[in-house]
Amino acid sequence: MHFIFPPVHGIYYYTIIHCCLCCFKTESKEKKEVDKNSGSSSKMRIVRKDLVRDGPGSVKMVPVDSDDLWYAYNLIAPGDSVMAVTVRKVLKEAASGGRDAERVKLKLEVKVQEVADYDKEGSILRVRGKNILENEHVKIGAFHTLELELQRPFVLRKDVWDSYALEVLQQASDPGASADLAVVLMQEGLAHILLIGRSMTVTRSRIEASIPRKHGSAIHGYESALNKFFENVLQAFLKHIDFNVVRCAVIASPGFTKDQFHRHLFLEAERRQLRPIIENKSRIILVHTTSGYKHSLREVLDAPNVMNLIKDTKAAQEVRVLKDFYDMLSNDSSRACYGAKHVEVANERLAVQTLLITDDLFRNSDIAARQKYVNLVNSVKDSGGSVHVFSSMHVSGEQLAQISGIAAILRFPLPDLEDIEM
């Protein structure tokens, strides 16, 4: 059995991730209508639920932000059906006797064969399958790709709403699950505006500028270029960071760049009376990083002053549990394991105290494989263990995926696991 140890000097690389599994209770049969205006700007709007736990049913929902489409990506599986309004080219008879192509809106329902593509930057989820709804323009059985977008309702039908699907649905509609942060990650001549949501990290802007070297007679050109660069970052800050959504904004950099930009930000805010910045001064914090590149986001999320601001969120629990896993792997390796086979054996022996698993494993096109992981989650919970599902769209989920996507902290040592082939 090969172990992967955390980086030296006690620094762990992990990020804000989202717990897709939490306590969820549902009646054996639910049928509920929800006021369309009751939705929150930070959660999936559930318009109607009509389902049976571990049985068939449908949910009509409206994705409000890009995180919601990620939840939909995790919910929709081959064999489900999705109904939505779509646009399709159809041929119509022209007055000249020919046929013209015209784009028309249609309501189609497809039997899903593939969740084809999730475009997180464009906030579009593409679902491909065969049409099963009678329509004058599209034949039954014809292939079509539905594009699910923000603020556009769709209906998802499943033959079986298992425990994992129900818990993802509950989390999608829970505003308390949000742990949004904004990060300005920068160095001289380079800045990234990043938004860290419930289930993913999105780059909203990348700003680059050529900054001349700071010496001799070139000092004026340096200061002018730096001020112009800061102004471009300020404009991106105003455009992409909404303090009604994010808990705080972090300005991070090596050296003094963060301090210089912080000073520029507040001087300009006072001069121009930029209320969003002035009124949220206490929610803008500084963090040291080794670079302005996106990989340094790990250092931001490891900073105590950032963790203190999000410590009451479910997402922060995932940060801590990943650290706990690597601590255990380093200090008492017989009480930590990873890989499906080792975790399954540990669970059979009722040894799993904490299960860590990536959401990728639940999107397996093999229904039996997906059900295996759902059953594992249920079994761990039934034996009193806790379960944490990591988003593959966060750095920590990527890190967990590198060691098979599944790991566990054990209640007691199982040294013989090393003798079992992965």
Residues 6 or more apart whose Cβ sits within 8 Å of residue 89: 101, 102, 103
Higher pLDDT, 183 or 179: 183
In the predicted model, what is the mean pLDDT of residues 76-105? 82
**pLDDT value at 84 more than 90:** yes
The predicted pLDDT at position 103 comes to: 82
Q: Positive or negative CA dihedral for 388, 320, 195, 121?
A: negative
Provide the token pair at 321. 């549990």
Length of the chain: 422
Q: Which of 42-56, 167-181, 326-340, 344-358 has the lowest mean pLDDT?
A: 167-181
Q: Round to whole Å and give the CA distance between 86 and 105.
A: 6
Give per-residue pLDDT as tens, 388-405.
998 888 778 888 999 999
Among 244, 237, 272, 275, CA closest to 258:
237
Q: Would you list the DSSP string of 98-147? A: SEEEEEEEEEEEEEEEEEEEEETTTTEEEEEEEE-S--SSS-TT-EEEEE
- What percent of the chain stands above pLDDT 90? 56
Buried b (16+ CB within 10 A) or exposed e, 42-78: bbbbbbbbbbebeeebbbbbbbbbbbbbbbbbbbbbb
In the predicted model, what is the mean pLDDT of residues 33-39? 37
**pLDDT value at 2 more than 50:** no
Strands (E), 321-410: 336-338, 352-358, 386-390, 406-410
Provide the token pair at 413. 């040592």
**pLDDT value at 218 more than 60:** yes
Higher pLDDT, 97 or 143: 143
Q: Round to whole Å and give the CA distance between 339 and 318.
A: 19
Torsion from C-alpha of 252, 254, 260, 265, nearest 10 degrees: -20
**For 181-309, CATH number?**
3.30.420.60
- Across 172-186, 201-215, 329-343, 354-368, which has the greatest mean pLDDT? 329-343
Q: Which amino acid is at 162?
A: D
Q: Which amino acid is at 101?
A: A
The predicted pLDDT at position 420 comes to: 84
Among 103, 14, 119, CA closest to 400:
14
Mean pLDDT taken over the chain:
85
The predicted pLDDT at position 356 comes to: 98
Confidence of residue 120 (pLDDT cuts 50, 70, 90): confident
Q: Round to whole Å and give the CA distance between 400 and 407.
A: 8
Which CATH topology does 29-177 take? Answer: SH3 type barrels. (2.30.30)
- pTM of this prediction? 0.72
Residue 225: which region, alpha, beta or left (left: phi > 0; alpha: psi -120 to 50)? alpha
The predicted pLDDT at position 17 comes to: 34
**pLDDT value at 8 more than 80:** no
Confidence of residue 119 (pLDDT cuts 50, 70, 90): confident
Q: Round to whole Å and give the CA distance between 70 and 169.
A: 11
Map out the domains of the chain as residue ranges. Answer: 29-177, 181-309, 314-419
Q: Which of 119-128, 211-220, 340-349 has the lowest mean pLDDT?
A: 211-220
The answer to whether 11 touches 330, Cβ cutoff 8 Å, is no
- Across 33-37, 252-256, 311-315, which has the greatest mean pLDDT? 252-256
Q: Round to whole Å and give the CA distance between 183 and 56.
A: 42
The predicted pLDDT at position 94 comes to: 67
Strands (E), 120-247: 124-131, 143-149, 154-158, 181-187, 190-196, 201-208
The predicted pLDDT at position 5 comes to: 40
Rg (CA), the chain: 25
In this structure, whether the domain defined by 314-419 belongs to CATH 3.30.1330.30 is answered with yes
Provide the token pair at 375. 């059953």
The predicted pLDDT at position 219 comes to: 80
Residues 6 or more apart whose Cβ sits within 8 Å of residue 79: 111, 112, 159, 367
Confidence of residue 43 (pLDDT cuts 50, 70, 90): confident
